[in-house]
Amino acid sequence: MLGQGTRLYWAIQWRRNEGLGALFLVLAVFAVIYAILFPGILAVGAMAKFVQGWFPTAMVAAAETMVMLTGGIDLSVGPMVSLGSVVGASTMQGPLGIFGGVLALLALGTSVGAIVGAFVAIGRYPAIIVTLALSFVLRGVALLIMRRPGGFVPPSLSEFLAGSHPTAAVLVVLLVLLWKFYQATPLGIGLIAVGDNAEGAYRSGVSVTTVRISAYIISANLQAFTGLYVAAQTGSGDPLIGEPLTLSAIAAAVLGGVGFLGGQGAMRGALAGSLLMSILINVMFFMGLPLVAQYVVQGLIIVATVALPLIRASLRRAS
Amino acid sequence: MNAVLRLQRFAATYSRSLVAYAIVAILWIAASLLIAGFGAYAHLRYIVELAAVIGLVGIGQTIAVIGGGIDLSVSAVITVTAIILPLVTFDADATGLGAIALALLVAAGIGAVNGLGIGYLGLPPLIMTLAMATILQGLLILIAGGSAISVTNPSLDWLGSTHFLTISVSIMLWAIVAAVCLFWLHGTRSGSLIFAIGANPVVSRLSGVPIRRLTLATYVISGFCAGLAGLLLLSMNGQGYVGIGDPYLLSSIAAVVLGGTSILGGQGSYLGTIAGAVLLVTMTALITVVNASEGWRSVILGCLILAMLPLSGRDQSR
């Protein structure tokens, strides 16, 4: 028999799916279309490749969601991923090898996240302008380290992360599990509370500043390691490779119902949003649509997925 | 209301904007003393000319932000205008004014679609304008491909190169549009309602504010102003290409925030955005003087904006 707490937990979890129905439906439809168009995707190898294509977007969507849930926003995702790829690719030839690279990325993510967190949580400056300014700084630093794509990623690491193994799929599962774990800690519980009602959270004993700063630190680390993953995929560091990811991250999060004002939405929505965009790009590629049509369709799908529930709600009100 | 009280209220409302002007003044004076040629009239005029593009985009962005929204499609609209104008230039239209009118109509039309989606469908501004930018990007690649399109338009050349009493026509254009915008925002009823919507949309709706129509107007204005900026940019550049408008999305938002308008809506003034635009261009000019590499330029600009934050005011409510 289920305890009351457990039942309450699942009831709340189920309620958080509200408003995501349209997204899940569209996602399912496109997944089926994709599987029909390209049955080979159901094989393990092809699936592994697909997940590898999706993984960076999923990571940055998760990173953006953490920050947006606290009521902030991160406009420096793309440059941070680029910087991560550059730092990763330029530190792994050192004496410490892969381990040294990972250490450097941890240091990078933690320090950048702490800086943003300090500005936003302690200085109380708007996250949108802090991260906008930071995006210039990070892009500049990446260009200073590496003028053009280069550096070195050990082939073994590339093979492990982006080779024929389904490592990326395991990492996605790990990401979700870690998120669930984080949500069970005081900092994780405070995350949504702070975004929804900072004053109320503070009065209830949540350390608003700590919650915000840790959210930015974790988010920046996710972005830095996305950079490492991208570097492993391409085999080198690239100071501009992450640029499109800023908008993808925000689009995936908003598509997934994560609100601009904080406290609204769930990680599952953002991940589903990023998956939908990834599948869309693949489906349109296999249908032979030109790049032009891909942009247009992507824009329309984003609008439609968000607009449909709104239209339905207004129709319900009218009748 | 007596004069002192009025002055106090003015200072309280515009203190953030005034800070931005003070920073610009200090930077200009210091740079003029330290760097030879910086304080020359022609150079300062050039800075303001460059700022006019950001300033024009900033008009729509300021109104959108004050109304509680944001317009992420401005860069795409700039590019659309800069690419459509050369394409619709035809021989019968000797002055080129017809082509300009058509390009501005397209820009305002894009804004209208944004406004309909946000105001009437209730889409979040962030997602509507982002999706619009994505769609436009696709269409632009279709229309222009990777090539730059040159333009020959007499009116546009006139806009880009004429001076009246040593003041550039482009600066005058900016001044006129800015004056109209300031009058609308602060001097009319519908303008003040924009602040009301941004401050509290629910109360505004319950008080009978025509939110939908005003939201539509906001984004039409934003599209139109981005179109004007596109024209100005094209007149300076001589050719349009995909990506010409890209830098102006972030710089328009930066100008708005540096000018003291709250990103959360309901508070601010275009007066500050003007200073914010000039400030951004001034900082870029200073960095160019130092002759830094691309990487350093980017780092310095970012650090400068971060350093400006304490001066341009913090977010009180969050």
Phi, psi of B130 (to 5 degrees): -65, -45
Q: pLDDT tens digits for A63-81?
A: 999 999 988 888 889 899 9
From A123, A254, A298, residue closest to B127, measured CB to CB: A254
Contacts of A65 (CB under 8 A, 6+ apart): A253, A256, A258, A265, A267, A270
Place B146 in a pLDDT band, splitting at 50, 70 and 90.
Answer: low
CATH architecture type of domain B15-30+41-309: Orthogonal Bundle (1.10)
Torsion of CA A300, A301, A303, A307, to 10 degrees: 130
B147–A contact, CB cutoff 8 A: no
Task: Annotate A130-141 with b (16+ C-beta within 10 A) or e (fewer).
Answer: bbbbbbbbbbbb
Instruction: Report how far residue A17's alpha carbon sits from residue A24's, in angstroms, rounded to the nearest whole number.
Output: 9
Q: What is the mean pLDDT of residues B253-264?
A: 80
A-chain CB neighbours of B303 within 8 Å are: 133, 137
Cβ-proximal residues to B256 (8 Å cutoff; 6+ apart), any chain: B58, B61, B62, B65, B263, B268, B272, B273, B276
Q: What does R_g of chain B's alpha carbons equal in angstroms?
A: 20
The string of DSSP letters for A142-201 reads HHHH-SSSB----HHHHHHHHSSS-HHHHHHHHHHHHHHHHHTSHHHHHHHHHHH-HHHH
A18: helix, coil or strand?
coil
**How far A177 CA lies from chain B's nearest CA (Å)?**
29
pLDDT at site B93: 66
**Distance separating alpha carbons of residues B125 and B72, to the nearest angstrom:** 8
pLDDT of residue B317 exceeding 50, the answer is: no
- Those of residues 153-192 in A touching chain B at CB distance below 8 A are none
pLDDT at B40 over 80: no
Which residues are registered as beta bridge partners of B2? none
Radius of gyration of chain A (CA): 20
- Chain B residues with CB-CB distance to A137 below 8 A: 298-299, 302-303, 306
Paired with B163 in beta bridges are: B168
> CB distance from B143 to chain A under 8 Å?
no
For residue A70, what is the enclosing H or E element?
A: none
Calculate mean pLDDT across residues A2-12: 74
Chain B interface, best mutation among A125, A264, A280, by max B CB count within 10 A: A125
When CB atoms are compared, the residue of A132, A250, A251 closest to B253 is A132
Q: Please name the amino acid found at residue B107.
A: A
**B108 near B227, Cβ under 8 Å?**
yes
Q: Give residue-wise pLDDT tens across range A230-247.
A: 988 888 888 888 877 887
> How large is the average pLDDT for residues B203-220?
87
Whether residue B122 and residue A71 make contact (CB cut-off 8 A), yes or no, is: no
pLDDT at site B311: 59
pLDDT in tens, A95-123: 777 788 888 889 999 999 999 999 888 88
* Number of Cβ within a 10 Å radius of residue A244: 12
Q: Residue B120: enclosing H or E segment and its boundaries?
A: none
Phi-psi category of A57—alpha, beta or left, where left has phi over 0 and alpha has psi -120 to 50? alpha
Strand partners, B149: B240
Inter-chain contact A314–B257, Cβ cutoff 8 Å? no
- In A99-128, the residues whose Cβ lies within 8 Å of chain B are 119, 123-126, 128
Q: What pTM was computed for the model?
A: 0.78
* pLDDT tens-digit readout, A173-196: 888 889 888 888 888 888 888 887
- Among chain A residues, the shortest Cα distance to B136 is held by A296
Please give the Cα distance from A20 to A269 (Å, whole number): 7
- The answer to whether residue B318 scores a pLDDT higher than 50 is no
Question: Of A161-170, A238-247, B276-285, which has the strongest mean pLDDT?
Answer: B276-285
Q: How far apart are CA B253 and CA A306, in angstroms?
A: 24
Under a CB-based contact definition with an 8 Å cutoff, are residues A280 and A50 in contact?
A: no
Confidence band, pLDDT 50/70/90 cuts, at residue B111 = very high
The residues pairing with B168 across neighbouring beta strands, listed in sequence order, are B163
Please name each of the domains of chain A with its CATH number. Answer: 21-259+267-309 (1.10.3470)
Return the pLDDT at A98: 79
Residue in B144, B11, B2, B155 with CA at minimum distance from that of residue B82:
B144
State the smallest CA–CA distance between residue A265 and chain B in angstroms.
14
Closest residue on chain A to B142 (Cα): A292
Confidence of residue A91 (pLDDT cuts 50, 70, 90): confident
The pLDDT value recorded for residue A114 is 93
Least confident of A274-283, B4-13, B208-217: B4-13
Pseudo-torsion of CA A144, B53, B185, B208, nearest 10°? -70
Q: Which of B306, B308, B316, B317 to probe by mutation at the A interface, max A CB count within 10 Å?
A: B306
Mutate to test the interface with A, among B61, B73, B79, B134 (most CBs of A within 10 A): B134
| Rounded Cα gap, residues B227 and B277, in angstroms | 17
Q: What is the pLDDT of residue B10?
A: 67
Containing B167, the helix (H) or strand (E) segment is: strand B167-168
Q: Strand pairing of B239-240 and B149-150? A: antiparallel
Residue A72 near residue A117, CB atoms below 8 Å: no
Of residues B99, B235, B77, B126, the one with CA closest to residue B171: B235
- Chain B's closest residue to A295, CA to CA, is B138
Q: Do A311 and B121 touch (CB under 8 A)?
A: yes
Confirm or reject contact between A292 and chain B (CB < 8 A): yes
Provide the token pair at B295.
């990487």
How long is chain B?
Answer: 318
Closest partner CB to B306 (pick from A133, A147, A311): A133
Q: Is the pLDDT of residue B76 over 60?
A: yes
SS3 A269: helix
* Spatial distance between the Cα atoms of B20 and B26, rounded to a whole number of angstroms: 10
Mutate: best of A245, A298, A306, A310, partner B, most B CBs <10 A: A306
Interatomic CA distance for residues B306 and B19, integer angstroms? 15
Q: Which residues have C-beta within 8 Å of that of residue A87, sequence separation ≥ 6?
A: A101, A104, A105, A108, A145, A224, A227, A237
Contact partners, residue A169, CB within 8 Å, separation at least 6: A47, A48, A51
Look up residue B250 and give its two tokens.
């972030």
Q: Which two tokens stand for residue B115?
A: 């406004």
Residues 93-122 of B with CB under 8 A from A: 117, 121-122
Q: Could you tell me the maximum CA-CA distance found in chain B, to the nearest angstrom?
A: 61
Confidence band of B219 (pLDDT split at 50, 70, 90): very high
Report in angstroms the alpha-carbon separations of A1 from A8, A12, B233.
Answer: 13, 18, 69
Q: What is the DSSP code (8-state) at residue A263?
A: S
Instruction: Name the residue among B103, B105, B101 with its Cα closest to residue B86.
Output: B103
Neighbours of B29 (CB within 10 A): 11
Task: Write down how long chain A is.
Answer: 319
Optimal mutation site among B298, B303, B311, B314, interface A, most CBs of chain A within 10 A: B298
Cα dihedral sign, B104-B248-A257-A128: negative
* Nearest residue, CB atoms, A129 vs list B254, B295, B299: B254
